[in-house]
Structure 1
Amino acid sequence: MPAPRYDALIRARWMITVENDGEVLENHALALKDGKIAALLCPADATEAQQHAAQVHTLDHHVLMPGLVNLHGHSAMTLLRGYADDLALMDWLNNHIWPAEGKHVSDAFVYDGTLIAMAEMIRGGTTTINDMYFHHGAVARAGIASGVRTFVGCSILEFPTGYGQNADDYIAKALAERRAFLGQERVDFVLAPHAPYTVSDETFKKVITLAEQEDMLVHCHIHETAFEVESSVAEHHQRPLARLKQLGLLSPRLTAAHMVHLSDDEIELAARHGVNVAHNPASNMKLASGIAPVTKMLAAGVNVGIGTDGAASNNKLDMLAELRLAALLAKVGTLEPTAVPAATALRMATLNGAKALGIDDKVGSLKAGKQADVIAIDLSALETAPLFDPISHVVYAAGREQVSHVWVDGQCLMQERELTTLKTDDLLARAEDWRARIQARNA
């Protein structure tokens, strides 16, 4: 008997490729082989191919689409979900989050928190996370255990924490932990200077040199609040982006998280230097940071993706919810209902995020030859009926509980809402253990 031509065949009612905005294929199938998309098959070819596939998934009420790319997160902070709510950013950081991290953050804390976050993200259709935190080996191990494509952002600051003493110490640990995971297909390491207000000029220069020498990406919070901008003017006599431009940080290697408070000239500057932006609508709203000028950035040619930020400043790692907010905030922020249409928001959360991470040739859209990072969303629920436009429903109507299947590199991480790489009961027990520990120590 001949070997199967395909490892799996996924037949779906609709397929959103994201290759072309608005493109929806009906009753097509994806053929998977060796972790990649071998072919997109029309209905007749899909029927013929079934006999040549080792597995066949028939999803008659589902939309098939690329996995979501979470362009900015702090996964381990899931263990601080709801810990300090309804506060301004600097109060939240200085008086609540950083003290709590100083007491509790460890390799075990980061591993368990990241595992829980990975499970939540898989259940919501996220297949790639651009993370930023401490204990980078723990983040990488959690990514490997879950199967999620993980960019491990190595936080760099000037002041001591429970993980490092100074900028040089953070950088040394980042490079050492990176070496331990070289060759892991779904894990990459990123230099993550925290923000202009926590990193010196000298350290930024070291990061720029290292990024070039080691061919690494850079991930940084920039222009998140008006206070950050005002403080930079007072201390450095220039706004943060101008300072970073002068230092040489602005380039296609950089993903700038938030970018809420920007002038038109700064938007043009970001576009000219190829800076990528991670838009975090829910976190920006919850911390009252403001509404990022996404419509202007897109019009200027800035590559804008979408992130959740951490669960401590958002409370859920729900990329479908972020999609909806990104589209709606753009409309209300400009008083223009045509700003950021559904297809644009979907591209931001998939192909744009992949481009920022330098992997848009591998993931972010459904195309033969790309890695099989794919999700299925069941649109048969009452909440998504009737259905006229699958793209509209994914962005404006569907909830993460409707994500039924998730594949990364062709590996099924969730089937019919059941995780295959992680155990929900185990993760719930870990979460409860950390809640009790944190509460007891704080008491």
Structure 2
Amino acid sequence: MQVDLLLQARWLIPVEPESVTHENYSLVIDDGKIIDVLDNAEALQKYQPRAVEKLDRHVLIPGLINCHTHAAMSLLSGIADDLPLMDWLQNHIWPAEQKWVSEAFVRDGTDLAIAEMLRGGTTCFNDMYFFPDVVAQQAIAHGIRANVGLIVFDFPTVWAENADVYLSKGLALHETLRHERLISTSFAPHAPYTVSDEPLRKMRTFADELDATIHMHLHETRHEVLEQQQKTGQTPLRRISDLGLLTPSFMGVHMTQLSSEEIEFYAQTGAHIVHCPESNLKLASGFCPVAACLNAGINVALGTDGAASNNDQDMLAEMRTAALLAKGVSGNASAVSAMQALKMATINGAKALGLDDEIGSLSIGKAADIVAIDLSDVETQPVFNPLAQVVYAASRHQVSDVWIAGKRVLNKRQLTTLDLHELRHRTEAWQRRLA
């Protein structure tokens, strides 16, 4: 049988089934899909590939899924460091955005984030920002998979003047994008303290009609929870639940403030958590009790958050931090194993986005979203356990090659859909303006 590509690797970690690592195995790719996973010798006997790629020093993993970011904020990286969330947001980030955010800002910032993500092995990102139409355009142009957030606030911004207009523009964009192969959409109300009840009720109705997901900051800080309780007598979580949002299509981002009772309650709803450990640490927002959430049966995915609060879009680093932080917070060295961390960055993210039939594991029938990591560097030698080396030792600079839907978007560290020289010029121009 003739096929497009045979990827032969020293190691292959499919994620599904869990805790399996193959050695000297092949991925058989045709028409952008994985059609077989088998031993190298057997693959060459069974298939006639148009191309063979031998990766004798590499491990293949599923493409990493950044389940929460604000891509265009890459242009604001380092502009307001070492500040707590509300000071950072109200006194620095929102004023900068009010002054500078435009279609051009979002285009260039998204390109910068996409370049960084692709070079770090991220093949899909879940975005929440202004001008989501521009985010989608850039993702399509550069061949990366994206879930584009249809953002909603109560107050006017450069994107829309009130909640009804946000929703109207979001619905129109959803319709425009619904046939794009690499693009999906989510409703993205910013947070309980920036979106009132009525828009959230309307959004719930629209999400049900369109079978769409909802993606929202929730219980990010102790201040947020206490302020909402003082104003309404309810925690943000209970308010969101009373409005009907807590369903298996809901992603609560951050969730650092959770009691044991709230964890059990949230687990019963089937809603997902997106954990952003490095952003939470940098803003001193608190610790999501990941081990307890996983033990309760909650699906926990991983995100970087925006580069303004994290300073990078490095999902390999996020995996390591998530695993180590969970062990420290829980007091249990077995909490969030290397395998669990990799699942959080792959199949768990796919489940949260409703894309697990298509991405998240190196499984037959799924899209060929694949990352090759070179483990021959001295920093990742010796290799007793390739999974442990990926999670606890590997750097994003060891990501050598990336495929999305079978198309090579990183070739031996070189991007195939972005001109880095030209991107640096655009970024430097923004730095001069923002300074």
Normalising by the residue count of structure 1, what TM-score does the alignment of the two structures yield? 0.97
Tell me by how many angstroms 1:146 deviates. 1.4
Unaligned runs of 5+ in 2: none
Map of 2:26 onto structure 1: 29
| Corresponding position: 1:299 with 2:282 | no
Counterpart of 2:36 (choices 19, 28, 39) is 39
Tell me by how many angstroms 1:180 deviates. 2.4
1:254-265 superposed matches below 5 A? 254-265=250-261
Counterpart of 2:59 (choices 55, 60, 63) is 63
Map of 1:20 onto structure 2: 17
Map of 1:6 onto structure 2: 3
Tell me by how many angstroms 1:226 deviates. 0.2
Tell me by how many angstroms 1:71 deviates. 0.6
| Corresponding position: 1:131 with 2:127 | yes
1:273-312 superposed matches below 5 A? 273-312=269-308
Tell me by how many angstroms 1:361 deviates. 1.1
| Corresponding position: 1:234 with 2:210 | no
Q: How many angstroms apart in 1 are the aligned matches of 2:244 and 2:177?
A: 28
Q: SS in structure 2 opposite 1:265? A: helix
Q: How many angstroms apart in 2 are the aligned matches of 1:190 and 1:358?
A: 10
Q: SS in structure 2 opposite 1:177? A: helix
Q: 1:409-429 deviations in whole A, cap 9, x for unaligned? A: 001100100101111111111
Q: Is contact 1:69–1:128 with CA below 8 Å preserved after alignment?
A: yes
Q: How many angstroms apart in 2 are the aligned matches of 1:183 and 1:165?
A: 28
Q: 1:169-216 deviations in whole A, cap 9, x for unaligned? A: 111111222222231110112110000011111111011011111221
Q: How many angstroms apart in 1 are the aligned matches of 2:290 and 2:358?
A: 25
Tell me by how many angstroms 1:166 deviates. 1.2
Q: Is contact 1:153–1:191 with CA below 8 Å preserved after alignment?
A: yes
Q: How many angstroms apart in 2 are the aligned matches of 1:81 and 1:173?
A: 28
Normalising by the residue count of structure 2, what TM-score does the alignment of the two structures yield? 0.99
- How many residues align? The count is 435
Q: Is contact 1:407–1:414 with CA below 8 Å preserved after alignment?
A: yes
Map of 1:395 onto structure 2: 391
Counterpart of 2:185 (choices 176, 179, 189) is 189
Map of 2:265 onto structure 1: 269
Kindly provide the amino acid, as one letter, of the partner of residue 223 in structure 2: F
1:38-437 superposed matches below 5 A? 38-49=35-46, 52-437=48-433
Q: SS in structure 2 opposite 1:261? A: coil
Q: How many angstroms apart in 2 are the aligned matches of 1:98 and 1:243?
A: 25
Q: SS in structure 2 opposite 1:54? A: strand
Kindly provide the amino acid, as one letter, of the partner of residue 173 in structure 2: E
Q: How many angstroms apart in 1 are the aligned matches of 2:285 and 2:160?
A: 28
Q: How many angstroms apart in 1 are the aligned matches of 2:171 and 2:107?
A: 19
RMSD across aligned positions (CA): 1.0
Q: Is contact 1:124–1:400 with CA below 8 Å preserved after alignment?
A: yes
Kindly provide the amino acid, as one letter, of the partner of residue 151 in structure 2: S
Tell me by how many angstroms 1:49 deviates. 4.8
Tell me by how many angstroms 1:46 deviates. 2.6
Q: How many angstroms apart in 2 are the aligned matches of 1:148 and 1:258?
A: 24
Kindly provide the amino acid, as one letter, of the partner of residue 86 in structure 1: D
Kindly provide the amino acid, as one letter, of the partner of residue 141 in structure 1: Q
Q: How many angstroms apart in 2 are the aligned matches of 1:80 and 1:340?
A: 31
Tell me by how many angstroms 1:20 deviates. 2.5
Unaligned runs of 5+ in 1: none
Kindly provide the amino acid, as one letter, of the partner of residue 360 in structure 1: D
Kindly provide the amino acid, as one letter, of the partner of residue 19 in structure 1: E
Q: How many angstroms apart in 2 are the aligned matches of 1:364 and 1:182?
A: 21
Kindly provide the amino acid, as one letter, of the partner of residue 10 in structure 2: R
Kindly provide the amino acid, as one letter, of the partner of residue 41 in structure 1: L
Q: Structure 1 vs Structure 2: percent identity of aligned residues?
A: 52
Q: SS in structure 2 opposite 1:10? A: strand
